[in-house]
């Protein structure tokens, strides 16, 4: 154990939180996967558990590798990655799969493995925004220049994500606004950007309504989810109803590990609605513990922020850390019928490769910041994206 601790740097509490969430996830995923085995007819429960464990082990590898990288390199890395992400999103939108006749252009397959490009795009975009704000911290922001340097790339990425994934687009946009506010971007300009975002969304909806064949079922899906949030009919209402039954059945201490009944009826029992299964099996106590762990992670994120000496480091931690907590909050709010169905997973607990890996990448960056004692603002602001390629080649 002492040897392992010598090789990991950064906030030890965050390392412990990640380990606890990962280990805890084994039993809920194993239990809830019976739905996939006996209802959907996909694989075996042990197979799903092994796959989940392998994904988490790879995730820990990502955390370890990323946290060893000096965080100043993430600044230039975002500039290099942004054009690649835009190309990847465009390719995904054009080549994405169709599920049940509906447009689900959010996945591509790389080497036989499904990859959700919007999660990578969101991560790169948050780092890019942190970089821009840090580099302009001492200057009065020119709104016209910021439109080209900041909001044009942001808008382009979000427009490429929007047709297939409205909830992810909304989360990324909201998080960017929060980070922009914390980074000193003028409030009056933020108001203009919000207005422009609303107009762009309205225009997109009008186009989608006028040409439904271009983006089949997307706007209708959003409309149905909002309507079903208060109605008692539809697929989403069925899922939420089963989730509410699961939570009510759990009571204070739950029915016991592996004894959930509603996992046999919830189509997304291992991902979107796994929190409901956790509460059913472990009760209010188990649910409270999970909420407390995410709250502790949020607290440690702010501890890292307080100890960070550079503006870029602070904005980087906030930009990649807060979406993890926000995503967890939305997932639990959907399961408890406090929010319409969004398709957001529970970080580090729900099954799924891309979500786990990108969460781990974000945590690795946070740990890189917390482990750094030598980075200065000058090192980061004077960085050249090409230096990363040169040092990699050397």
What are the pLDDT digits (tens) for 322-347? 999 999 999 999 888 888 877 788 99
pLDDT at 103: 45
List the domain boundaries for the chain: 7-393
Angstrom distance (rounded) from CA 265 to CA 232 = 16
Per mean pLDDT, which of 291-305, 351-365, 368-382 is the most reliable? 291-305
Angstrom distance (rounded) from CA 361 to CA 28 = 23
- The residue that leads in pLDDT, 177 or 103, is 177
Give the three-class secondary structure for 211. coil
Give the three-class secondary structure for 115. strand
- Structure confidence by residue, pLDDT tens digits, 182-217: 998 999 999 999 999 999 988 888 877 776 665 555
Check pLDDT > 90 for residue 133: yes
Which residues does 309 contact at the CB level (< 8 Å), separation at least 6? 375, 376, 377
Check pLDDT > 50 for residue 221: yes
Mean pLDDT of 284-290: 94
Check pLDDT > 70 for residue 106: no
Q: Nearest 5°: phi and psi at 22?
A: -65, -45
pLDDT at 65: 94
User: Among 31-35, 111-115, 325-329, where is mean pLDDT lowest?
Assistant: 111-115
pLDDT at 358: 92
389 band by pLDDT with thresholds 50, 70 and 90? very low
pLDDT at 392: 40
4 band by pLDDT with thresholds 50, 70 and 90? low
Which residues does 345 contact at the CB level (< 8 Å), separation at least 6? 271, 272, 274, 327, 331, 352, 355
Angstrom distance (rounded) from CA 142 to CA 126 = 20
Side-chain-side CA neighbours of 116 within 13 Å: the count stands at: 21
pLDDT at 38: 66
pLDDT at 351: 86
102 band by pLDDT with thresholds 50, 70 and 90? very low
User: Among 15-24, 76-85, 87-96, where is mean pLDDT lowest?
Assistant: 87-96
Give the three-class secondary structure for 100. coil
Check pLDDT > 80 for residue 150: yes
Rounded to 10 deg, the angle between the 152-161 and 187-210 helix axes is 30
Q: Nearest 5°: phi and psi at 99?
A: -115, 120
Least Cα distance to 163 among 94, 111, 73 occurs for 94
pLDDT at 232: 53
Would you say 324 and 196 are in contact if contact means Cβ atoms under 8 Å apart? no
Mean pLDDT of 51-58: 92
């Amino acid at each position: 154990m002492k040897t392992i601790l010598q090789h990991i740097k950064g906030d030890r509490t965050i390392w412990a939180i990640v380990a606890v969430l990962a280990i805890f996830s084994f039993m809920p995923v194993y239990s809830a996967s019976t739905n996939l085995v006996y209802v959907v007819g996909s694989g075996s429960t042990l197979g799903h558990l092994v796959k989940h464990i392998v994904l988490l082990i790879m995730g820990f590898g990502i955390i370890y590798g990323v946290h060893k990288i000096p965080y100043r390199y993430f600044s230039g890395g975002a500039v290099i990655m942004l054009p690649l992400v835009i190309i990847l999103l465009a390719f995904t939108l054009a080549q994405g799969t169709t599920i049940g006749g509906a447009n689900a252009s959010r996945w591509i397959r790389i080497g036989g493995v499904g990859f959700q490009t919007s999660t990578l795009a969101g991560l790169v975009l948050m780092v890019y925004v942190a970089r821009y704000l840090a580099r302009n911290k001492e200057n009065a922001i020119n709104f016209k220049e910021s439109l080209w340097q900041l909001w044009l790339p942001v808008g382009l990425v979000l427009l490429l994500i929007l047709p297939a994934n409205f909830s992810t687009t909304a989360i990324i946009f909201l998080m960017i606004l929060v980070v922009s506010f914390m980074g000193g971007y003028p409030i009056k300009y933020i108001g203009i950007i919000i207005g422009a975002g609303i107009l762009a969304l309205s225009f997109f909806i009008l186009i989608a309504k006028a040409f439904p064949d271009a983006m089949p079922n997307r706007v209708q899906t959003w409309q149905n989810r909002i309507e079903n949030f208060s109605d008692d009919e539809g697929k989403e209402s069925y899922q939420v109803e089963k989730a509410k039954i699961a939570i009510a059945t759990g009571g204070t201490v739950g029915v016991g590990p592996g004894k959930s009944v509603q996992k046999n009826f919830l189509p997304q029992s291992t991902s979107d609605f796994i929190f409901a299964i956790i509460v059913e099996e472990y009760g209010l106590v188990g649910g409270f513990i999970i909420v407390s762990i995410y709250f502790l992670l949020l607290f440690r994120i702010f501890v890292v922020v307080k100890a960070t000496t550079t503006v870029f480091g602070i904005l980087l931690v906030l930009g990649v850390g807060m979406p993890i907590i926000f995503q967890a909050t939305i997932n639990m709010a959907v399961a408890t019928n406090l929010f319409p169905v969004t398709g957001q997973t529970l970080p580090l607990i729900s099954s799924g490769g891309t979500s786990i890996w990108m969460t781990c990448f974000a945590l690795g960056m946070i740990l890189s910041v917390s482990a750094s004692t030598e980075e200065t603002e000058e090192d980061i602001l004077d960085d050249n994206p090409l230096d990363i390629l040169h040092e990699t080649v050397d």
